[in-house]
A = this chain, B = another copy of it.
């Protein structure tokens, strides 16, 4: 069994999202807590800006959750930058036990999975899950210096300048993390760095298929099935291949990378990507929809492309991974 049901489902007691100008100009702009049009957040390098976004997101999440100094008891965090410096430097000042994660764009779900399991088991009363990405630090590291002005392929996605932080707690009134399913590394041979959606879709399909097969649930049992950042290409592949496997997700399936930007108006090609994409969409938009009662029960899968520019030059393909989190308005949502 890969599905892990949480005996004591932790509640999201506070969450916050911090984004750049482009993300604020998009259709979800009003749902984010804080934005900086310049994307610098007052820092003199993009890497420092990304760390600052994580710091701001965690600070805001703690404030919104009315948390005392004893919160969080532990931090689970990571980002896309080499040595995960967005997290290491951004969260240094909180002086809390820290687990550094690397799951590429799946990191926010990976953090939520681990935090939820350890709270449910009683090791911690609360935990923070945090992740971020920054368009400018990601372009510099993974693709070209911004000054080069590289042309973008039609299947390319836009790395979101965004951070999201959630405080999970053993007490609280929901929404609750009721089930999780840790992902496996899946590699179907995609080696096109401009098509991350295709590289990650097989991992999403593996995770979703395992979930439905083990639980006996159907896509229609959920208000929403939301992948992290497959974008237009990966979303289409996932929808089609899941249908072939007998799981019709039409009408119930969406993707954070498609929600974040106005695709036709904002020139982002296949949509958003990056660790901060799904982190901010969940901590901003989705949590607000839960608060309004619009959502009761969703599956959230953050998908990560474990892509390495160095290894690609050595002929490697791009492995993907997708960690699943079920979020429910009711504590015993999984019984429903």
Query: Which residues on A are within 8 Å of B, measured CB to CB?
Result: 2, 4, 45, 47-48, 74, 78, 81-85, 88-89, 91-92, 95-104, 110, 113-114, 117-118, 120-123, 141, 182-185, 187, 306-311, 314, 316, 319, 321
Decide if B97 touches A183 in the complex (CB within 8 Å).
yes
- A121 CB, nearest partner CB in chain B, Å: 3
Contacting residues, chain B, for A85 (C-beta < 8 A):
306, 308, 310-311, 316
Contacting residues, chain B, for A310 (C-beta < 8 A):
47, 81-83, 85, 141
Q: Which of B47, B78, B182, B308 contacts A102 (CB 8 A)?
A: B78
User: CA–CA, A157 to B79, complex, Å?
Assistant: 27
Contacting residues, chain B, for A321 (C-beta < 8 A):
98, 100
Contacting residues, chain B, for A98 (C-beta < 8 A):
182-185, 321
Quick one: given A47-B311, A83-B307, A85-B311, are A182 and B99 in contact (CB under 8 Å)? yes
Decide if B117 touches A121 in the complex (CB within 8 Å).
yes
Contacting residues, chain B, for A48 (C-beta < 8 A):
314
Decide if A102 touches B104 in the complex (CB within 8 Å).
no
Enumerate the 5 nearest inter-chain pairs by beta-carbon distance, A residue then B residue, closest first: A121-B121, A97-B182, A83-B308, A102-B102, A88-B306
Decide if A184 touches B96 in the complex (CB within 8 Å).
yes
Q: Which of A47, A84, A100 has the most CB of B within 10 A?
A: A100
User: CA–CA, A102 to B123, complex, Å?
Assistant: 21
Contacting residues, chain B, for A78 (C-beta < 8 A):
102
User: CA–CA, A307 to B82, complex, Å?
Assistant: 10
Decide if B83 touches A104 in the complex (CB within 8 Å).
yes
Q: Which of B92, B97, B110, B120 contacts A100 (CB 8 A)?
A: B110
Contacting residues, chain B, for A74 (C-beta < 8 A):
182
Identity of the chain B residue whose Cβ is nearest the Cβ of A4 in the assembled complex: B123
- A53 CB, nearest partner CB in chain B, Å: 15
Contacting residues, chain B, for A2 (C-beta < 8 A):
97
Decide if B319 touches A89 in the complex (CB within 8 Å).
yes
Decide if A45 touches B314 in the complex (CB within 8 Å).
yes
- A54 CB, nearest partner CB in chain B, Å: 12
- A250 CB, nearest partner CB in chain B, Å: 28
- A295 CB, nearest partner CB in chain B, Å: 26
User: CA–CA, A74 to B141, complex, Å?
Assistant: 30
Instruction: List, sorted by A's number, 21 A–B pairs whose CB atoms are closer than 8 Å.
Output: A47-B314, A81-B310, A82-B82, A83-B102, A84-B102, A84-B306, A85-B308, A85-B310, A85-B316, A88-B185, A88-B308, A89-B311, A92-B185, A97-B182, A97-B184, A98-B183, A99-B114, A99-B182, A100-B110, A121-B121, A121-B122
Q: Which of A48, A88, A99, A104 has the most CB of B within 10 A?
A: A88
- A323 CB, nearest partner CB in chain B, Å: 8
User: CA–CA, A122 to B113, complex, Å?
Assistant: 15
Contacting residues, chain B, for A187 (C-beta < 8 A):
92
Identity of the chain B residue whose Cβ is nearest the Cβ of A313 in the assembled complex: B45
Decide if A185 touches B117 in the complex (CB within 8 Å).
no
Contacting residues, chain B, for A91 (C-beta < 8 A):
185
